[in-house]
């Protein structure tokens, strides 16, 4: 199972029909890393904010000149304090480092415009509501994610399964 597509590319394919009018959206990329999501969603956004805890990742992202603002901060701390709203909130390969997601989803909901999109990836489990894997990453149960979506006023637009990474050469 060679992984030949990035998480942001998979996310864009999944939500393409729901994306804002080209070049009009405001994006916040949670856990922006080197800027892969900003590259993928560049055509749909005119204003882009990247948030990451790693200064080294932010340095690499800055060289791409894709973000209007790069913020070196814990993502949840940023969400708690900012007053900005966005049309598109992307969290690719970020929620796998969190177990309980209630506070995350509540804060994300506060920062979405009406009709905005929250696009994210998770690893799935049958163990409800979430499970800490041997890899140190969390997996989340689909029913838990659906319940959170409903609790915080989200409408599920699309859900799909894909291999996004390998661990010891296994999906």
The pLDDT tens digits of the residues spanning 30-67 come to 999 999 999 999 988 999 999 999 999 999 999 999 99
Q: What is the pLDDT of residue 163?
A: 52
Instruction: Return d(Cα 40, Cα 35) in angstroms, integer.
Output: 9
**In the predicted model, what is the mean pLDDT of residues 15-23?**
73
- Look up the pTM and report it: 0.87
Instruction: Give CA–CA dist 5/10, Å, rounded.
Output: 7
Q: Answer for the pair 149, 122: CB distance below 8 angstroms, yes or no.
A: no
**pLDDT, mean of residues 12-33:** 84
Residue 84 clears pLDDT 80, i.e. is over it = yes
pLDDT over 60 (residue 162): no
pLDDT score of 159: 58
29 contact partners, CB below 8 Å, separation of at least 6 = 35, 37, 38, 41, 48, 49, 50, 51, 67, 90
Which pLDDT value is given to residue 152? Answer: 96
Give the integer Cα–Cα distance in Å for 107 and 132: 23
């Amino acid at each position: 199972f060679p992984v030949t597509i990035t998480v942001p590319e998979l996310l864009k394919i999944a939500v393409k029909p729901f994306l804002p009018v080209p070049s009009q959206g405001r994006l916040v990329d949670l856990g922006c890393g080197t800027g892969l999501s900003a590259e993928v969603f560049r055509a749909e956004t005119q204003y882009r904010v990247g948030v990451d805890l790693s200064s080294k990742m932010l340095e690499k992202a800055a060289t791409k000149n894709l973000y209007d603002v790069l913020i070196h901060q814990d993502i949840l701390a940023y969400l708690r304090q900012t007053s900005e709203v966005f049309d598109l909130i992307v969290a690719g390969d970020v929620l796998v480092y969190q177990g309980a997601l209630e506070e995350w989803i509540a804060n994300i909901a506060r920062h979405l415009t009406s009709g905005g999109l929250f696009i994210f990836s998770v690893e799935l489990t049958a163990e409800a509501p979430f499970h800490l894997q041997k890899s140190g990453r969390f997996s989340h149960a689909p029913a838990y994610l659906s319940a959170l979506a409903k609790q915080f006023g989200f409408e599920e637009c699309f859900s799909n399964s894909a291999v996004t990474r390998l661990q010891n050469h296994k999906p």
